Chain A
Amino acid sequence: MLITQKWDVIVIGGGPAGLAAAISAHDQGAKTCIIEREERLGGILKQCIHDGFGLVTFKEKLTGPEYAWRYIEQANERNVPVFLNSFVMDLKKEGNIFKLSLINSKEGAFYLSAPAIVLAMGCRERTAKQVFIHGTRPAGVFTAGLAQYFINIQGHMPTKKCVILGSGDIGLIMARRLTLEGATVHGVYEILPEPSGLTRNVVQCLQDYCIPLHLNTTVAKVHGKNRVEGVTINSVKNFKPIPGTEKYIDCDALIVSVGLIPENEIIEPLNVPIDPKTRGPFVDQNLMTMFDGIFSCGNALHVNDLVDYVSESGNIAGSNAANFAKENLQKRNLIPVTPKDNILYVVPQYVDLNQKSEVVIFFRSSRTLRDVKLKVYSDGNNYISKKYKVVRPPEMERIILNLSKVPSNISEINIELKGE
C-alpha cells in the first residue's frame, strides 16, 4: 500500500510563482507543500544571472538567483515542506479532493492529496521546428534558455559565432551574455517589424554592445550535416519570405528565442478549459480556473515579462487556494472580461461578481499604439478610463478594477484601446 499524505494546498512548481503561492497559502493558515522536479528551488531564475529583477517589488536591481533567494528564505523561515527532485506522474480528482501520484528517489512512489492545487509549472520554449525553420538537423540549434543553461549553469560554450532568431527577452539577454563570454553574435533577427522584447533589453543588451537587430527578417534554412555551418536569412513581408533577399551567414549555431508556451499538460486529463490566446487556463480574479479548487499563477497562467508580476500572481493564487481549502468558496457568479479593440488578451478572463473587492487585471495590446485611451466598461457603465502615451505587445499592462463599482446584473465587462 502506498502512502497518501494529506495537505490543504499543494503547489506544483518551486519557481518564483510557486514560492510566492506557497508562502501566502501558508500565511493564510493552510498546511501547504511545494513539489519541485529539480534539485533546487528557484525555477528558471537559477540561470538568469543578469540583473533587473525585483524593481517593482523591492525597488532594487537583483539578479535572478538573488531574487529567488528572497522568497526561498521566506519559505525556509516558515518551514514550508518541499519535495525536491520529485515528479508528478498523475493528477486525479476523487470527490472533493485532488490526488497526485509522485515519484522521487528517496520516498519512491507516493500520493499527495489536497482540496486545493496551485499550478505554478512555468513555461517551455518554442523550438526552431515549431516555428518551421527548415534545412538540415545538425547540432548547434538551441533554444535561448538551453544556451543560457549551458553557459550559466554548466559553464560551457555552445557556440563561438552565432545567429539569434527572435528578439524576445531571453534572446536579447543571450546576445549580450554570449558577447561577454567572447562569442561573436552576428545579429538578432526578428520576423516582426518591431522587437518582441522589452525596450530596456533592446537598449542594454544590443545597442550597448553594437549587436545589430534586423527587423522583418527571418532564418529560412539551417545548413550543415553534423554541426551548424551557416544559415540562410530572408527578408519577409507579411510573414512571407521575399524572393531574392536570401543571404548566407557563416556561423556554428542558431539560437532561437521565438516564444514561450505555458506548461499545462498536467491538467489535461481533467479537461480544465484553456485560453487559446494565453495557452494558460481561464481564471477569475482569485486565479481559480474554471475547475473548482485548481488555481494557476506565474508563467503557467500566461507568459509574463516581469518576475515581480509572477510573484504577485503566486501570492494571489496561494492565499485564495488557502481560503478555498478552508471554507470552500460559495458558488461563483462569473462573467467574462472580454478583450475588444486592440487588446490581445486579458487575465483574468472572468470575474466573480459575488466578490466586491479590487481586482488586478493584466492585458497586452495586440499592436503598438500611441496616444490611446483604455476603456473598461459594460453596457452604459464606464469603470476605468486611462490614457497611454504608448502601448506595445511585449510590455504587459496592469490595471486595478474595483468591483464594488460594478453592478451585479451585468453579463460582460469589456476592455478596449482606442485612439483619441
Chain B
Amino acid sequence: MNKLLEKVKAGLKKAKFDNVDLYEWRSSIVLTGRVNSWDEKIQAGYIAANKGYKGVVNDIKVVGAKTDEMAKPDIYDNSLEGEQFDVVIIGGGITGCSIARELSRYNITIALIEKEEDLAKHASGRNDGMIHPGIADKPSSKKAHYNIRGNRAYGKICEELGVDFQRPGSFILFNSPISELLLPILMVRAEQNGVDGYKFFTRRKVKEMIPYVTEKQFGGFFLPSAGVLSPYKLTVAMAENAVQNGVKILLNTVLLGFEMEKGHIAKIKTNRGNITAGVVVNAAGIWADTVADYATDRFFSLHGRKGVDAILDKKTGKYQPAIMAMPDLLSFKGSHTKGGGLITTPEGNLLIGPTANEVPTREDYSTEPNDIDELMKHLELNTKLKRTDIITYFAGIRACTYEEDFIIEPSSYVDNLVHAAGIQSPGLASAPAIAHDISKMVCTILKKTKEVKNKENFNPKRITFPELNKLSLEDRAKIIKENPFYGRIVCRCEQISEGEIKNTLHSPIPVLSLDGLKRRFRIGAGRCQGGFCTPRVMEIMSEELNIKLTDIKKKGAGSEILFNETKENVSYSDKKLKTMLE
C-alpha cells in the first residue's frame, strides 16, 4: 500500500470511521462503506481531500439519508435525433451560458442543453449576485485565480449585455479591537491574490461611509472591486447574446447518458433523441459528477451545501451603500464559507445571507425557520434594519468538491470531454474567466479535426429593449408615444409596464412561466410579491402566447396556477352543499 493511501486511512481511523473502506482509482481516492449520518460522510470526505489525490469520490452510504434524484422533464420525443454539433454544453447556468457565449465567437456549431424549462433555475438563480473581490480563497487555488480575472471582466461584459452592474465595494468589518492585528495577513492575501485595490478604514471612517453601521465594529478592510449584479438576468443575457450569435439553446432537454467508444463520447443520449458533438462541456452544476460518471470519468464527488438568503424591502437600500460582513476572523480557518453578510443589489433591495449547511439533497430548496434565525446576525450590522423589512427568502445549493476548488480541465481519459465542475462561490464572479479558459480547451480539441476561426460577424452587444424605470420622464414620454403599452404599469412595486412584459415574452429564448418573467424583469419581485400584478400578467401571457389562463404555470410542468373556470365542475345538487344550506 502506498504512502498516500496510508495517510488517508490513518486520518479516517483517527476520526473513528471504522466502517469506511477506501481504494485508489486512476489518480483519485474512492471512499465506500457506511456511516450513520450525512455529516459523518461529509467529514470523511474532507479527511480524504487535499492529501495528494486529484479528487475524492465519496461513495459512502448513509443509513436513512434522504437524498433526492435529478428532476427530469416529462417529455420524450425524437425531435433532436441525429443532430450534430461541434460543441454540446451540458447545463444552462451561468457557467454553461458564459461558455456558450464565449464559444459563439468562433465559426463552430454549438448547442446548450438544459433540463429545465428555463435557464438559471438552480445555483445561478439562487445566489446573492455578488461579484467577489477575490480575497477569500488561497492564492494557489483555481478559485482565487478565476475570481480575480472574472471580476475584472464584468464591467465590459455587463455593458455589452445591457445588464446592471455596480461596484459598491465590500467591507470586512472587525468585531474586536484585536482583529486589527490580522490586517497584515489580509494585506498579504490581497497582494498575493492580486485583488484590485484594498484599504483599511478606521472605525470612524467606516461610520462616515455607512452612517447606520453597528456600534460594535472596530474598523474594516475595504475592497472596492466587489460588485453586484442580478445573477439570473446575467445568465439569461449571456444566453440571449449567444443565441444572437448562432448558439442553439435546447430547453427541457436532459442528458440521459453517453455512448462511449474507447475513451470517446460517440453519442449524447437525451430525452429528445441522440445527438453527437465534437466536444462535450460538462457544466452541469450539482450534477456534474453524474455527467462525469456517464463518461466513466467520475474522479470527484459533489456535495450540496445549502445557502439561504433573505431579501429586504427596496427602501432599505439607501441605508447601506456598500456590501459588508463581519466574519469571525479569529476562528475563520477551516470554514468553508465566507460567512455571509449584507449585500446591496443594483435594484436597491438588500440581501442578507447566505447561510451554509451541508444537505443530502441536491434540488430541495425548502427553507426552515432556523435559516432565518441564523441570518438575523447580519441584520444587526445595520441599525436601520428590522426583521419586518424581509419581503421574502430563498435557498440555493452550492456544488462543492471535497477539495473546495473548481475543476476546470479537459478530461484525462475522455478525449472529447471538458469539465467545468465544482463551480460554487465565487462561481458567478469567476464565470467570464472560466468561460475564456474552457473555450480555449474546447478549441484545442476541435482544432485536431477542423479549422477553428473567429466569426467575422460576432456581435458582443445583446439586443435589448428599453426599461421604463431607468428612463427620465421625457424619455418615457417618447417611448410611450412609440409603444403605448409602455404607458401601462402592471407591476406597481417594480414599476414594470405592459410593453416590457410583451417584449420579454417575445425575446430570443422563450419565456413560458411567471417565474421566467420574474427572472428577466423582476415582475412580482417587489414588496407585494405578485399579489397585485399576477392576474394581469397572466392575462397578458394568455393573449400574447395564445394560451388559456389555465395553462399558465408558475415554473415547470405541473405548476399551473388555475384549475378550471368557475362553474365548470360545480353541481349545485351536491349533497354536501345541500346539507350546509339547510
Contacts and interface: CB of A to CB of B under 8 A. Distances in A.
Are the chains A and B members of one assembly?
yes
Contacts of B527: 124, 265
A238 interface: no
A157 interface: yes
Interface in A242-265: 252, 265
A330 interface: no
Interface in A384-404: none
A176 to B, nearest CB: 10
Nearest to A160: B563
A342 interface: no
A174 to B, nearest CB: 13
Interface in B435-482: 468, 473-474, 476-477, 480-481
Contacts of A153: 535
Given A103-B480, A127-B392, A156 B528 contact: no
Interface residues of A, number: 56
A208 interface: yes
A418 B532 CA distance: 41
B488 A104 contact: yes
Contacts of B366: 134-136, 221
A156 B562 CA distance: 6
Interface in B551-582: 553-571, 574, 577, 579-580
Nearest to A157: B563
A165 to B, nearest CB: 15
A106 interface: yes
B481 A108 contact: yes
A108 B529 contact: no
A89 B475 CA distance: 13
Interface in A349-383: none
A209 interface: yes
B372 to A, nearest CB: 6
Nearest to A177: B566
A109 interface: yes
Nearest to A85: B488
B568 to A, nearest CB: 8
Contacts of A104: 480, 487-488
B477 A2 contact: yes
Contacts of A101: 473
Q: Helix, strand, loop or mixed for chain B's interface?
A: mixed
B580 A210 contact: yes
B516 to A, nearest CB: 13
B107 to A, nearest CB: 41
Contacts of A138: 554, 559
A157 B580 contact: no
Contact of B550 (A90, A108, A146, A156): A156
B334 interface: no
B480 A134 contact: no
Interface residues on B, range: 35 or more
Interface string A214-240: 000000010001110000000000000
Contacts of A106: 484, 487
Contacts of B315: 265, 268
A37 to B, nearest CB: 7
B367 interface: yes
Given A134-B368, A182-B569, A265-B315, A109 B549 contact: no
B365 A227 contact: no
A42 interface: no
A409 interface: no
Contact of A157 (B364, B477, B558, B564): B564
A58 interface: no
A125 interface: yes
B489 A146 contact: no
A156 B393 CA distance: 29
A139 interface: yes
B387 to A, nearest CB: 9
Contacts of B477: 2, 103, 108-110
Nearest to B373: A132
Contacts of B468: 103
A201 interface: no
A268 B484 CA distance: 28
B561 A139 contact: yes
Given A132-B369, A139-B554, A146-B535, A179 B577 contact: yes
Interface in A101-137: 101, 103-110, 124-125, 127, 129-130, 132, 134-137
Given A105-B485, A134-B366, A182-B569, A89 B563 contact: no
A158 B527 CA distance: 22
Contact of B570 (A90, A181, A268): A181
B251 interface: no
B480 A108 contact: yes
Contact of A159 (B473, B555, B563): B563
Given A108-B487, A158-B563, A227 B531 contact: no
Interface in A33-92: 37, 85, 87, 89-90
A2 B390 contact: no
B357 interface: no
A216 B566 CA distance: 33
Nearest to B534: A146
A7 interface: no
A89 B497 CA distance: 12
Given A108-B487, A150-B562, A179 B473 contact: no
B391 interface: yes
A109 B562 contact: no
Interface in A133-179: 134-140, 143, 145-146, 149-151, 153-160, 179
Contact of A156 (B486, B492, B558, B566): B566
A130 B489 contact: no
B369 A109 contact: no
B111 to A, nearest CB: 26
B71 interface: yes
Given A104-B488, A136-B366, A226-B556, A151 B566 contact: yes
A381 to B, nearest CB: 37
B528 A154 contact: no
B480 A109 contact: yes
Contact of B476 (A103, A134, A180): A103
Contacts of B365: 136-137
A129 B480 contact: no
Contacts of B364: 136
B531 A157 contact: no
Given A2-B473, A156-B566, A130 B391 contact: yes
Given A87-B492, A157-B563, A159-B563, 10 more contacts: A87-B495, A109-B480, A124-B527, A135-B366, A143-B531, A145-B531, A154-B562, A182-B574, A265-B315, A265-B527
26 contacts: A2-B473, A101-B473, A109-B487, A110-B477, A124-B527, A125-B531, A129-B392, A130-B388, A134-B371, A136-B366, A139-B554, A139-B559, A139-B561, A150-B535, A154-B538, A156-B550, A156-B564, A156-B566, A158-B563, A179-B580, A180-B577, A181-B566, A182-B569, A210-B579, A226-B555, A227-B558
Interface of A: 2, 37, 85, 87, 89-90, 101, 103-110, 124-125, 127, 129-130, 132, 134-140, 143, 145-146, 149-151, 153-160, 179-182, 208-210, 221, 225-227, 252, 265, 268
For the complex of A and B, list the 5 residue pairs with the smallest distance between their C-beta atoms, beginning with the closest.
Answer: A105-B487, A139-B554, A109-B477, A182-B570, A226-B558
